[in-house]
Structure 1
Amino acid sequence: MSIAHGTILGGLSTVPDLDEALRAYRDTLGLELAERGELDADLAQSWGCPGNAGSPYAVLRPASAEPCWMRLVEQPAHPGFRPTRSYGWAAFECTVEDVWHWPDAIPPGQFEIVGPPKVIENIEPAFIPMQVLGPGREMVYLNQVLADMPGSDLPRAKSPVDRIFIVVLAAPDREASVEWYRQRLHLDRGADFTIPYTMINNAFGLSPDTQTTLTMVSKGRMPIVEVDDYPAEAAARPRHEGLLPPGNALVTLAVQDLDACELDWIAAPASREGALYEGRRAATTLGPAGELLELVECKP
């Protein structure tokens, strides 16, 4: 299968109890377990997280077999972490077949529903969104796609919970982040949107009509990164020394040529085996909002 430059290959979240997280993602959401083990020290080092060497992890994939993997890594929760309050990866948006199914299908205690399904009033919606917090307080959107957007093609789900089709970045400087992705990864600047962003307004105690501007970073008509302006009260994400950031920790994108990316790598690119990598070269960098971004070389 050919994988286009910029394709979201996966999102990694940290969880305090891997078995509990598997009950949520595998048994409830229906993702299929592709791999389970303990993190290789070299891989953890390539993320700049040497303390995660030996951490229990699992890799899951949609039943549709779309090339997108959800990774869970067990590590202690951080007492200072609050979702949607800090810079870095803020959410993974997944496409689902029937968003209305999920409020009653999620057992108590597995996911916290922070935004029930909602039809956006007064406009023709492209999708119906729903937001949940997972076992590690990671934010996951379950979005039922209804139509394409004027500048973007949105994937329809081929399984009850399918691929990640947008990753959300909380940025201290939206324009700087957008330019970084455009220049360093050769991606495209998409449309700007200014909306009353419920998740951000609730997290910071702002008025419900407070407006937030966001910009889509894409490759052609394929959306990839939603870059959000965050209030001045936001801060760098608190994290344990040597470990992954809590919550939505790392995003993996496909690129055609690692050597063409003008980036400072945490460790030199290396070929890696196992689910997601499949023998391809990979390397990780830090983005301008402090986000961990892993790139996997998928030559055409």
Structure 2
Amino acid sequence: MTFLTHGRIIGGLSTTPNLDAALADYRDALGLEAIEQGTLPPDLAASWGCPAAAGARFATLAPASGAPCRLRLVEQPLRADFTPTRSYGWAAYEITVQDVFGWPERLKDSGFDIVGVPKEIPGLPYFVAMQMLGRGREMVYLNEVRQDTPTSDLPRAGSPVDHLFIVILAAPDRAAAMRWYEDRLGLEEGGTYTIPYSMINKAFGLDAATLTTISMAQKGRMPIVEIDDYPEQADQRRRDEGMLPPGNALVTLAVDTLDGLGLDFITPPRVRDDAFYEGRRAATVVGPAGELLELVEIAR
């Protein structure tokens, strides 16, 4: 079965103030494999609309399962005013894992800050998740899949920590963001739910019973982007001039073609040859919630 199909998550990029320490967390504590390290080429940073990030140290990590999905870490100073889960854009990356209840103990001496311990949710037998923050205040969910949902197929982990399979988008207008992903990328709405979302309620100091509406953008039965309707107290994520957004900074998706999408790419598509792109064309667009979305062409 081909892993890379239209809409598949190829990777997520997070910023971190200390790359060496972050590598110790992701590589040594989580067990991901560092497959590439270096400094960001100027043309790649420019393609993200972040020219000041040129020359920043980065590392690319892959799961031991062999799934062709990558996490990238880019070294960048952490803004003192950045608080996770309070601004629009990429809010979290969700990774499929084995034995989620064992991970808090395994990570106790790492740089990860566990903000939500694993717990089973009544009425949701499909998965058990925990939430944690990295050194760059990036939000990562570790999710042990138990069974598929009625509308989607969820991946079981082939290694203790496997691949990124859902990205979470904080949006000022969930319905408008969903239409954008449908119209521009050919994704489909896989389901909409209204729930008391504890991470959002805690971040904004809301009553625990406050409800949030979320929708899943997917391709067929493959979930891709969870779009969350954020409260009106949220705002645009602040970042330094020419730099990447702090935290969960950029998501990369596979698309059949970059042609005919009607998107205003930051720079024109071009072939990239490093380990992340493997000779494919790539280009980046700013999405409906201000998120950086990189698209990589897989059909050629």
Q: Secondary structure at the match of 1:263?
A: coil
- Write the distance in 1 (CA, Å) between the matches of 2:260 and 2:28: 40
**Superposed counterparts of 1:71-150, under 5 Å:** 71-108=72-109, 110-121=111-122, 123-150=123-150
- Map Cα deviations across residues 222-242 of structure 1 (whole Å, 9 max, x no partner): 000000000110000011110
Q: Secondary structure at the match of 1:243?
A: coil
- Report percent identity of matched pairs: 62
**Alignment partner, residue 67 of structure 1:** 68
- Write the distance in 2 (CA, Å) between the matches of 1:272 and 1:134: 28
Identify if the C-alpha distance between structure 1 residues 249 and 264 changes in structure 2 by more than 3 Å, giving closer, same or farther: same
**Alignment partner, residue 180 of structure 1:** 180
Report the alpha carbon displacement of residue 2 of structure 1 after superposing the two structures with TM. Answer: 5.4
**Superposed counterparts of 1:255-270, under 5 Å:** 255-270=255-270
- Write the distance in 2 (CA, Å) between the matches of 1:109 and 1:210: 33
Q: How many residues align?
A: 299
* Mapped pair 1:241 → 2:241: yes
Q: 1:36·1:57 contact (CA, 8 Å) conserved in 2?
A: yes
**Alignment partner, residue 227 of structure 1:** 227
CA RMSD of aligned residues (A): 0.9
Report the alpha carbon displacement of residue 108 of structure 1 after superposing the two structures with TM. Answer: 3.5
**Alignment partner, residue 280 of structure 1:** 280
Q: 2:177·2:227 contact (CA, 8 Å) conserved in 1?
A: yes
**Alignment partner, residue 216 of structure 2:** 216
**Alignment partner, residue 26 of structure 1:** 27
**Alignment partner, residue 165 of structure 1:** 165
Report the alpha carbon displacement of residue 109 of structure 1 after superposing the two structures with TM. Answer: 5.1
Q: Secondary structure at the match of 1:36?
A: strand
- Write the distance in 1 (CA, Å) between the matches of 2:215 and 2:294: 21
TM-score normalised by structure 2 residue count: 0.98
Q: 1:252·1:296 contact (CA, 8 Å) conserved in 2?
A: yes
Report the alpha carbon displacement of residue 190 of structure 1 after superposing the two structures with TM. Answer: 1.4
- Write the distance in 1 (CA, Å) between the matches of 2:32 and 2:267: 31
TM-score normalised by structure 1 residue count: 0.98
Amino acid at match of 1:241: E
Question: Unpaired segments of 5 or more residues in structure 1?
Answer: none
- Write the distance in 2 (CA, Å) between the matches of 1:239 and 1:85: 14
Q: Secondary structure at the match of 1:118?
A: strand
- Map Cα deviations across residues 55-86 of structure 1 (whole Å, 9 max, x no partner): 00000000011010000000111111100000
Identify if the C-alpha distance between structure 1 residues 88 and 201 changes in structure 2 by more than 3 Å, giving closer, same or farther: same
- Write the distance in 2 (CA, Å) between the matches of 1:139 and 1:3: 24
- Write the distance in 2 (CA, Å) between the matches of 1:153 and 1:16: 36
**Alignment partner, residue 55 of structure 1:** 56
- Write the distance in 2 (CA, Å) between the matches of 1:108 and 1:206: 31
- Write the distance in 1 (CA, Å) between the matches of 2:135 and 2:289: 24
Q: 2:177·2:289 contact (CA, 8 Å) conserved in 1?
A: yes
Q: 2:139·2:247 contact (CA, 8 Å) conserved in 1?
A: yes
Report the alpha carbon displacement of residue 107 of structure 1 after superposing the two structures with TM. Answer: 3.3
* Mapped pair 1:37 → 2:38: yes
Amino acid at match of 1:33: A
Q: Secondary structure at the match of 1:130?
A: strand
- Write the distance in 1 (CA, Å) between the matches of 2:185 and 2:26: 30
- Map Cα deviations across residues 241-288 of structure 1 (whole Å, 9 max, x no partner): 100000000000000011032210000000001122000000000001
- Write the distance in 1 (CA, Å) between the matches of 2:273 and 2:134: 28
* Mapped pair 1:195 → 2:195: yes
Question: Unpaired segments of 5 or more residues in structure 2?
Answer: none
Amino acid at match of 1:116: V
- Write the distance in 2 (CA, Å) between the matches of 1:39 and 1:213: 37
Give structure 1 regions of 4+ aligned residues with deviation exceeding 3 angstroms. none
Amino acid at match of 2:88: Y
- Write the distance in 2 (CA, Å) between the matches of 1:275 and 1:87: 30
